[in-house]
Amino acid sequence: MDVLERFMGYARISTQSAEEKESQPSTAKQFDLARVLEKELIGMGAADVRLTGHCYVYARIPSTLPEGMKERHKVGFIAHMDTAPSASDDHVTPRVVDNYDGGDIELGHGKVLSPRHFPKLLEAVGCDLCVADGRTLLGADDKAGIAEIMAMAEYFLTHPEIPHGEIEIAFTPDEEVGRGTENFDISGFGADAAYTVDGGTLGELEYENFNAAEGKVLIHGVNIHPGEAKDKMINAQLVAMEFNRLLPECIPANTEKREGFFHLCHMAGDESECRMTYIIRDHDKEKFEEKKRQFREAADTLNRKLEPTDASVEVSLRDEYYNMIEKIRPHMELVDAAAEAYRDQGIEPVFVPIRGGTDGAMLSWKGLPCPNLSTGGENYHGIYEYLNVNSMRKMVDVLVSLAQKLA
CB 199 within 8 A of CB 391: no
How far does CA 203 lie from the centroid of its chain?
17
For the chain, the straight-line distance linking the first and the last C-alpha, in angstroms and rounded, comes to: 26
- Kindly name the residue from 40, 71, 82, 174 that is annotated as catalytic: 82
* DSSP label at residue 169: E
CA separation for the pair 302, 100 (Å, rounded): 53
Burial of 34 (0-12, 13-18, 19+ CB in 10 A): buried
Residue in 128, 148, 175, 204 annotated catalytic: 175
Q: Is 378 a catalytic residue?
A: no
How far is Cα 360 from Cα 302, in angstroms, rounded to an integer? 38
Question: Is 381 annotated as belonging to a binding site?
Answer: yes
Instruction: Tell me if 198 is assigned to a ligand binding site.
Output: yes
Active-site residue flag, 175: yes
The whole-angstrom separation of Cα 97 and Cα 129 is 5
**At CB < 8 A and 24+ separation, what contacts does 343-351 make?**
344/397, 344/398, 344/401, 345/394, 345/397, 345/398, 345/401, 347/202, 347/203, 347/394, 347/398, 348/203, 349/203, 349/204, 349/205, 350/201, 350/203, 350/204, 350/205, 351/205, 351/206, 351/207
Question: Which residues does the annotation mark as catalytic?
Answer: 82, 175
Binding site as annotated, residues = 80, 141, 176, 198, 381
Binding site as annotated, residues for Zn(2+) = 80, 141, 176, 198, 381
